[in-house]
Amino acid sequence: MKITYNDESHATDMIETGGTLDVDLYSYFYGLVRQIPRGMVSTYGDLARALGDIAASRACGYMLSINPDPEGTPCYKVVRSDGTVGKYTHILGEIEKIRRLERDGVTVEGDSVNNFEQIRFKDFETDFPLNALRNEQERVRSMVDLTDDFDASRVAAVDVSYDDEYGYGAMAIDDGGNIEIRESVQEVRFPYIPGYLAFREFKFIKDLAGNFDGVLLIDGNGLLHPRKIGLASYAGVMLNIPTIGVAKSLLLGTVSDNWVHMGEEKVAYVINKNTIVSPGHKVSLGSSVDLVKKLSHGKYPDILKVAHNNTVRLRHEKQKLMS
């Protein structure tokens, strides 16, 4: 799969490498922002639609907040959907945003852009990259197999935490009572967007669990996903290993007697409010629930806590080095 980014300065590719897509959505997004003409504005939602999904609106705000080149990438041109100017990452905040807009010929009364709809730019040149990623999810979903095909004698867990554009992945392997820890620290060029976690975290899982031959618990969802291809299912198919998703919060579905339904289908089980289990790949829903119950004793599984605590340790170690 290859996508050319619409950036005046350079072309960036979405490259399929070793069974995973390494997606630099930041560069693509900043290229979209640079398309907004002088004297015009756009909104977070307009940019999200140009990426291919309104669900990316919050991510657009985040990427603007860490814009590394505010002079070359004019994030001050991005305003709220009601025409108010909104926040601006500058010591003077909104005052500086208004100053820059007015320098471009945009008039602002109070905190609202005059003639907002007339100067609102939506005509982005874009390939809608999130559309391509949804197509990739559909392709992988067709390969998910929830028939039991696993050996529970080896269990591991993986988690990733973040510090701006760096991710800290840790994998804890319980091999007969001995815990092995694997670590992976990588730059991340894909923000958190609901429904697209695989394109942010799978590269960590691949790095950590590429040669693992047991059952892998993943901090995230499997079948419990808008397109039924959450991180655990995606990783399981791509690595061809048994996986189970264990999420800390319930983001969709309806609950009846602890079972989570999407429509008429059972897709997950709530052990407690911080432990929601859904099958990933090569493990049925029933077996996923039974295994996690055995490991958790009604609580969040210890093996996942170990993985999470190690991601926090890695992050703190990096922060100390930078301070």
What gap in Å lies between CA 204 and CA 192, rounded to an integer?
15
- What CA–CA distance (Å, rounded) separates 286 from 300? 18
Question: Of 109, 136, 163, at which residue does a domain stop?
Answer: 136
Domain's final residue, options 85, 117, 136: 136
Q: Is pLDDT above 90 for 22?
A: no
Task: Kindly tell me if the per-residue pLDDT of 7 is higher than 70.
Answer: no
Residues 188 and 292 in one domain: yes
User: Is residue 1 situated within a structural domain?
Assistant: no
Instruction: Note the pLDDT tens digit of each residue in 87-127.
Output: 887 777 788 899 999 999 999 998 899 999 999 999 999 99
Least confident of 156-160, 210-214, 278-282: 210-214
Q: Does residue 5 sit within a domain?
A: no
Active-site residues, by number, are: 75
Residue 8 binned pLDDT confidence (cut-offs 50, 70, 90): very low
The verdict on residue 291 lying in a domain is yes
217 shares a domain with 76: no
Query: Of 102, 136, 170, which one is at a domain's C-terminal end?
Result: 136
Same domain, 227 and 279: yes
Do 289 and 211 share a domain, yes or no? yes
DSSP result, 143-212: T---S----TTSEEEEEEEEETTEEEEEEEEEETTEEEEEEEEEE--S---TT-THHHHHHHHHHHHTT-
pLDDT at 158 over 70: yes
Query: Which CATH number do you get for residue 108?
Result: 1.10.10.10
Does one domain contain both 129 and 200?
no
Note down the domain range covering 315.
145-322
Pair (105, 170) in one structural domain: no
Helix axes 44-51, 25-33, angle to 10 degrees: 130
Centroid of chain to Cα 67: 18
Q: What is the average pLDDT across 181-189?
A: 95
4: in domain: no
Residue 201 lies inside a defined structural domain of this protein: yes
Does 54 map to a domain?
Answer: yes
The verdict on 161 and 285 lying in the same domain is yes
Instruction: Assess if residue 10 is contained within a domain.
Output: no
Whether residues 150 and 112 fall in one domain? no
Secondary-structure percent of the chain, ordered helix, strand, coil, rounded to 5: 35, 25, 40
Q: Are residues 209 and 308 located together in one domain of the fold? A: yes
Q: Does 176 lie in the same domain as 276? A: yes
Residues 210, 79 share a domain: no
Give the domain CATH number at 211: 3.30.2170.10
**8 Å CB contact between 190 and 202:** no
Looking at the domain assignment, is residue 153 inside a domain?
yes
pLDDT of residue 19 exceeding 70, the answer is: no
What tens digit of pLDDT does each residue of 240-259 get?
A: 999 999 999 999 999 999 99
Distance CA 218, CA 66 (A): 28
Q: Are residues 32 and 132 in the same domain?
A: yes
pLDDT band of 311, cuts 50, 70, 90: very high
**Residue 298 pLDDT grade (very low, low, confident, very high; cuts 50, 70, 90):** confident
- Considering its fold, how many domains does the chain have in total? 2
